[in-house]
Amino acid sequence: MTAWDGFQAFATTPVAAPPPPGAPPRGLEERLAYHSRFVTVRTPAIDTLAKNVRTVMILGRHQTVTARPSLIVTGPAGAGKTTALLQVGRACHLAHTRRHGAAAAAGQVPVAYVLVPPAASAKTLATEFARYLGIPVASGMSQAQITNAVCHTYTSAGVQLVMIDEVHRLNPRTTTGAQSADLIKDLTERIGATFVYAGIDVTATPLFTGVRGAQLAGRASLIDCAAFPARLGDEEPFHDLVNAMESALDLRHHRPGALTKLAPYLHERTAGRIGSLARLIRQAAITALIDGTERITKTTLDAIRLDHLAEQHYRPHTRPRSRSTSTP
């Protein structure tokens, strides 16, 4: 995904979808593969990010003097930040292809996706930008030379949207972190693209501190990708999320509504994190296919070990054992 060929393949591969009504039954291997990939539910975070990205791209389209406005997707681990980022990137890529036609868009790269490496220096980060487009980087090249090559190539390729993930790894309080933050600022001013960042709870990190943090905070709008609440006023967002995932299952004996009835348990089990919920349902579906039951029950779900974060949060309710009393 962090190289153009990989991202292009992701963006153009048809998304996983349940079989349409009346379609012939799919085989076991096909259904195992389907539940491994599974569907991506259109969440409020994805909708909000898509709307804001489109607006900010239009807002900055003719801004050439200073850096364009940007966006930061923040939230706890497992809340679906990367998924939201990639889905919006896919939509931008496909929209560009539809607008210009496949032949005209063949030599263009509308979207770039870069991961911030751990403890990244400015040169290391610049090299990641270069690697995405296959820009040759010789061992003797300086950071400035790599940066110049990146800016030239990204501009020539027509990059419109740059997505930078794991941005919480940047720490402007350290020398290398400050240099990396300066590099990103330089890129935003030299590449005619909209920048969107994603990271874990970025407002609690040093990213917004000091002069560099103030510059970023003055240009970027925050989009909170929080865990799903069980209730939000009169709405039940988590219940709706479970219902959407359940309706996408391809299990022959699963009772519709069985998972939705377990929404309170599933919320407690996953703390409302979409990443943990998706893993739990996918793993339960694969288990049901392998053991031949073809349905998901609470017993199936209880037997699954989830990610450590979810397991630490979950404390199953146990009924206290009644004490027998005897008369002396």
Look up tokens 């988590």; give the residue: 238
Q: Is the pLDDT of residue 325 over 50?
A: no
Q: At a CB cut-off of 8 Å and minimum separation 6, what does 260 contact?
A: 239, 242, 243, 246
The pTM is what? 0.87
Q: What is the DSSP track for 160-191?
A: -EEEEE-GGG--TTSHHHHHHHHHHHHHHHHS
What confidence score (pLDDT) does residue 217 get? 79
Residue 178: phi and psi, rounded to 5, are -65, -40
What confidence score (pLDDT) does residue 328 get? 44
Q: What is the DSSP track for 220-244?
A: EEEEE-PPPPS-BTTB-HHHHHHHH
For residues 320 and 300, what is the distance between their CA atoms, to the nearest angstrom? Answer: 24
What confidence score (pLDDT) does residue 201 get? 92
Percent of the residues in the chain that have a pLDDT greater than 70, as a whole number: 91
For the chain, give the number of residues.
328
Instruction: Kindly indicate the confidence band of residue 314, based on its pLDDT and cuts at 50, 70 and 90.
Output: low
What confidence score (pLDDT) does residue 307 get? 73
Considering the chain, what is the average pLDDT of its residues?
Answer: 89
Q: Helix (H, G, I), strand (E, B), or coil: what is residue 205?
A: coil
What confidence score (pLDDT) does residue 315 get? 64
- Residue that wins the pLDDT comparison between 60 and 320: 60
Q: Is the pLDDT of residue 290 over 60?
A: yes
Q: What is the DSSP track for 37-63?
A: H------HHHHHHHHHHHHHHHHTTT-
pLDDT in tens, 199-258: 999 988 888 888 888 888 788 899 999 889 988 888 899 999 999 999 999 999 999 999
